[in-house]
Structure 1
Amino acid sequence: MPNYWLMKSEPDAFSIDDLIRQGASPWDGVRNYQARNFMKEMQVDDLVFFYHSSCKPAGIVGIAKVTRCAYPDHTSWDPSSAYFDLKSTPESPRWFMVDIELVEKFPALIPLSTLKQDPALAEMLLVKKGSRLSVMPIQKNEFQHIISTTHYA
């Protein structure tokens, strides 16, 4: 039985269209311990809402699935990477990534503002004040509700 997640990416860094072009892709560069720990819980075939963040409007743009469980994020020990971390090494990695692939790109973005107005999603981490994690769990009922209403008017 899959678990459900939401992963945020700035579309100018990595968009859902990039995922379409690349096929299965690593989700690297996460540098928040709680988000990292969530990724370490992910299993193959878990479903993920792909969320475009730091753009207007921000929102869910599709669904991906996990194709590889957490493994060390090599960008953390690459000095030329924007995600370099001096304290992370191949022998003792601090950061991890998973691989994902596209399941479906939605015909239209589901804006955060719409999600916030939906009473069925009032307890969803994404809509809680101060929730800024780039990777977060989603409850099965929340995931199914959003899927059932992907054609917001």
Structure 2
Amino acid sequence: MAFWLIKTEPGSWSWDDQVRKGVEGWDGVRSHQAAKNLRTMQIGDQAFFYHSVNEKRIVGIVEVVREAYPDPTDASGKFVQVDFKTVKPLPSPVTLADIKADPRFADLALLRQSRLSVMPIDASSWAAICQMGRVSP
């Protein structure tokens, strides 16, 4: 199993929206690197659900339930989407400031490539962030 972080603007698609829907396609990704990451995902992989813009915090965990397929919002046919199901919220959301303050995360893509919307998370960082969020990995 691999681990990921997916970013969303809560005004467009929030954790509450994800919880209400249960399973939803992650569409609208137009970065080639982020799309490559979507194509790499496999059923059972998990991802942190990150609220960007003003909140800048990890609020929940989702799981891949359908691997990459054509994104119907992309007229060019170049981009894909992945379906995620809601797994659980983080009882204590982990902020970007918390992650920046912790030296264990110095190499995390979230800090190195801050504009990337879909990124891998290594297993030790996943476990540490889960601990910070008070959820079992």
**2:71 aligns to what?**
73
- What SS class does the counterpart of residue 75 from structure 1 fall into? coil
**2:28 aligns to what?**
29
Report the alpha carbon displacement of residue 76 of structure 1 after superposing the two structures with TM. 1.0
Report the alpha carbon displacement of residue 108 of structure 1 after superposing the two structures with TM. 3.3
Task: Give the stretch that moved more between structures: 107-116 or 135-144.
Answer: 107-116
**1:114 aligns to what?**
98
**2:116 aligns to what?**
133
Q: Of the two, which has the highest radius of gyration?
A: 1
Q: Does structure 1 residue 142 correspond to structure 2 residue 122? A: no
More strand by share: 2
d(CA) in 1 for partners of 2:16, 2:92? 13
Q: Does structure 1 residue 38 correspond to structure 2 residue 41? A: no
Report the alpha carbon displacement of residue 148 of structure 1 after superposing the two structures with TM. 1.6
Map residues 61-100 of structure 1 onto 2, 5 A cutoff.
Answer: 61-77=59-75, 88=76, 93-100=77-84
TM-score (norm 1): 0.84
d(CA) in 2 for partners of 1:20, 1:142? 24
Amino acid at match of 1:19: Q
- What SS class does the counterpart of residue 73 from structure 2 fall into? helix
On the 8 A contact 2:6/2:117 being kept in 1, the answer is yes
Report the alpha carbon displacement of residue 109 of structure 1 after superposing the two structures with TM. 2.2
Instruction: Number of aligned residue pairs: give it.
Output: 134
RMSD: 1.0
On the 8 A contact 2:92/2:132 being kept in 1, the answer is no
Task: String of CA shifts for 1:85-122, please: whole Å, max 9, x gaps.
Answer: xxx1xxxx201000001111112321100110011111
Amino acid at match of 1:117: A
**1:103 aligns to what?**
87
- What SS class does the counterpart of residue 67 from structure 1 fall into? strand
d(CA) in 1 for partners of 2:127, 2:91? 17
Q: Identity over the aligned pairs, expressed in percent? A: 42
- Runs of 4 or more above 6 Å deviation: none
On the 8 A contact 2:94/2:133 being kept in 1, the answer is yes
d(CA) in 2 for partners of 1:43, 1:16? 22
